[in-house]
A = this chain, B = another copy of it.
Amino acid sequence: MARAQVAVEDPTELSPRAQALLRSSYRVITRQGSHRLSLQDVADEAGVSKGMVLYYFKTKENLFLTTMRYALERTGARIRERIAGVDDPHRVIAALIDAIFIDAERNRDFYLLYVDLVEHAARVPSFGQVSSLATEIINGLYEELIRDGVARGGLAVEDPAEAAAAMRALIDGTFLTWLPREDWRESHPRFKALCHASLLRLLGVDRSPAP
């Protein structure tokens, strides 16, 4: 795999054809894992020849990197959208948990990709920027929520950035322990509830039910 020399391109600025390939690539990765991703598979999934994949994304690494970024930004946007309407600071945590834990299949797809990204980022320098992007998106969102919650009252937190980091660790860790389970489909609600309860503890939310 050749080394990418330039920054990963913005997926939203790609031609429609390239974006379709990106979606095919994402589908193949969720099905097989990024390590078993082959250009031929992506081409087959998209119903085109392998040459075309390389025509739009010069190398496999570039395709992979761009797919990561695409999935990351799409997921981040979706979560933001989901919690945009919620104003009550007491409910915003619940809304976030609802937004993140949508359903077992999609959570599994995304977090398996995310785990792959971490593994790659730790070994291959060019993946570092995508991984940093992930941290920016995720921690930024969490920190924003926490600051808001503190300002409106209801959250007992000293350092929002630190709390956001802890929050991220808890949520990502919940998925990490959930992913390899054989009963991942059935246990999804249980892990969701556990994560919710732990998060409330972590953020010092008053746990007496609202009257």
A11 CB–B CB distance under 8 Å = no
Give the contacts of A155-184 with B (CB-CB under 8 A).
Answer: 162, 165-166, 168-174, 176-177, 179-182, 184
Question: Smallest Cβ distance from A194 to chain B, in angstroms?
Answer: 6
Query: For A182, what are the chain B residues with a Cβ–Cβ distance below 8 Å?
Result: 128, 132
Chain B hits for A127, CB < 8 A: 180
Interface residues of A in 23-40 (CB under 8 A from B): 32-33, 35-36
Cβ-based interface call for A20 (8 A): no
Judge if A195 is at the interface, Cβ distance under 8 Å: yes
A45 sits at the interface (CB 8 A): no
Closest-CB distance, A108 to chain B (whole angstroms): 7
A169 and B170 form a contact (CB under 8 A): yes
A118 at the interface (CB under 8 A from B): yes
Is A4 close to B, CB under 8 A? no
Given contacts A162-B197, A169-B173, A169-B174, 5 further A-B contacts (CB under 8 A): A35-B119, A36-B123, A165-B194, A166-B170, A169-B177
